[in-house]
């Protein structure tokens, strides 16, 4: 008889690029999970903003089961009905005219960066290749995307990074003005920096980026891998700002837990990705597309989107109550159900210390860098689960403060 897998098996059999918590969840329903021993947890982590509708939502389960009996994968030698329906839904609901489907956020961002350079090459020549990104940004783990990302720790030790990439200061338009010129092909930005600490862009900043890109005929690329799919209370965060990009990337919540990514763009830009210029083996396969189609249709409704904003207010209210008792947070920020609580100076760098204590108290949370506690629960998490989860989180915080 095969023995039950344990956390020790990870250390024995898996490449050590992760350090997962000790518990191993085996079942999920809604916003709750159960581990191998039947212990229950409230999930404020959401698979890092992936499980937009929680665990095993019937809309997604039914879509998966229905498609599983029809068609899974063909390859891009053929197209399929779910992929075409998904692309149509995304274009009809957004600024975009065209969609490229892939399997992850890293793939979507890789495609966006390649498209931007190819478009500039085709329309202006090889000199127009520079990409501007921002300090503390995060765009994925491919070599190109970690190089564009503004956190050098992720690209160090892998050899020379690709050239033509420069970094400005987030929310500082003057820093962009100093870098942008007619050799710039694209500016890539997260409307809310996720891994960088749940930092929302200002209206002035994003509007200014749009103007600068227009002045220099550069493409504005919004990385909405984390902020998209309803996470901020709109289908995509650009809608909150009224600033449309030329290219937008989406993943995480768009599949509700199934690996799906998408790059959205306009008719002006899309032709640069001509036949043979790029590809993804699993991108747009029928099974993934059917699940994503169900997720998008369910998320992009007033009930879900307005509910995300209402839940943010509830979470903020309770975090402020916790903070009045324990004084651990400097600032609580975010939008919709992407919430960041920055640690107070006396607890600088200790956000990660809360996570194992939270697990012991029965709640799962995240960090965004060493100094921000992050929460990205299901967009439809019941409000009673929020209240109970924050009670558990408070117990964890109290233990950290007291040193227990």
From the candidates 223, 300, 353, 385, which is the catalytic residue? 223
Angstrom distance (rounded) from CA 213 to CA 185 = 9
From the candidates 128, 252, 258, 329, which is the catalytic residue? 252
Residue 50 annotated as binding site: no
Residue 36 annotated as binding site: no
Residue with tokens 């959205």: 264
Residue 189 annotated as binding site: no
Angstrom distance (rounded) from CA 292 to CA 28 = 19
Residue 223 annotated as binding site: yes
From the candidates 134, 138, 170, 312, which is the catalytic residue? 138
Residue 332 bridge partners (DSSP): 341
Is 252 in the active site? yes
Helix (H, G, I), strand (E, B) or coil at 258: strand
Is 138 in the active site? yes
Residue 210 annotated as binding site: no
Angstrom distance (rounded) from CA 139 to CA 116 = 15
Question: 297 burial class (0-12, 13-18, 19+ CB within 10 angstroms)?
Answer: middle
Judge contact between 326 and 401, C-beta under 8 A. Answer: yes
Residue 85 annotated as binding site: no
Residues sharing a CB contact under 8 Å with residue 377, sequence separation 6 or more, in sequence order: 31, 43, 44, 45, 46, 311, 337, 386, 389
Residue 399 annotated as binding site: no
Residue 385 annotated as binding site: no
Judge contact between 220 and 209, C-beta under 8 A. Answer: yes
Parallel, antiparallel or unpaired: strands 130-134 and 184-189: parallel
Catalytic residues: 138, 223, 252
Q: List binding-site positions for pyridoxal 5'-phosphate.
A: 138, 223-226, 281
Q: List binding-site positions.
A: 138, 141, 223-226, 280-281
Q: List binding-site positions for N(2)-acetyl-L-ornithine.
A: 141, 280
């Amino acid at each position: 008889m095969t023995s039950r897998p344990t956390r020790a098996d990870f250390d024995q059999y898996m490449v050590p690029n992760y350090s997962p918590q000790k518990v191993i969840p085996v079942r999920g329903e809604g916003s709750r999970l159960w581990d191998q021993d039947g212990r229950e947890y409230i999930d404020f982590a959401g698979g890092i903003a992936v499980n937009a509708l929680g665990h095993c939502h019937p809309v997604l389960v039914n879509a998966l089961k229905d498609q599983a009996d029809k068609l899974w994968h063909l390859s891009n030698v053929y197209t399929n009905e779910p992929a075409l329906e998904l692309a149509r839904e995304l274009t009809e609901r957004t600024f975009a005219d065209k969609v490229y489907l892939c399997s992850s956020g890293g793939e979507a961002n890789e495609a966006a960066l390649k498209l931007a350079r190819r478009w500039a090459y085709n329309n202006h020549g090889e000199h127009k290749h520079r990409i501007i990104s921002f300090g503390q940004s995060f765009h994925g783990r491919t070599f190109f995307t970690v190089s564009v990302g503004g956190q050098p720790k992720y690209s160090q030790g892998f050899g020379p990074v690709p050239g033509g990439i420069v970094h400005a200061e987030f929310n500082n338009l003057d820093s962009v003005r100093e870098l942008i010129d007619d050799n710039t092909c694209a500016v890539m930005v997260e409307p809310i920096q996720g891994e960088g600490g749940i930092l929302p862009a200002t209206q002035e900043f994003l509007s200014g980026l749009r103007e600068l890109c227009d002045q220099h005929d550069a493409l504005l690329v919004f990385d909405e891998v984390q902020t998209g799919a309803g996470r901020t209370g709109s289908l995509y965060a650009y809608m909150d700002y009224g600033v449309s990009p030329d290219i937008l990337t989406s993943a995480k919540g768009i599949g509700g837990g199934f690996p799906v990514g998408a790059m959205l763009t306009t008719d002006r830009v899309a032709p640069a990705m001509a036949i043979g210029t790029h590809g993804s083996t699993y991108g747009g396969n029928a099974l993934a597309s059917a699940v994503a189609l169900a997720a998008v249709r369910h998320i992009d409704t007033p009930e879900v989107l307005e509910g995300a904003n209402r839940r943010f207010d509830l979470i903020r209210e309770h975090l402020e109550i916790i903070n009045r008792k324990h004084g651990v947070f400097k600032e609580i920020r975010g939008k919709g159900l992407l919430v960041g609580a920055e640690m107070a100076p006396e607890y600088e760098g200790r956000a990660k210390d809360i996570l194992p204590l939270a697990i012991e108290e029965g709640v799962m949370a995240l960090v965004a860098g060493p100094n921000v506690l992050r929460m990205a629960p299901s967009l439809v998490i019941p409000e009673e689960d929020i209240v109970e989860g924050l009670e558990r989180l408070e117990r964890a915080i109290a233990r950290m403060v007291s040193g227990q």
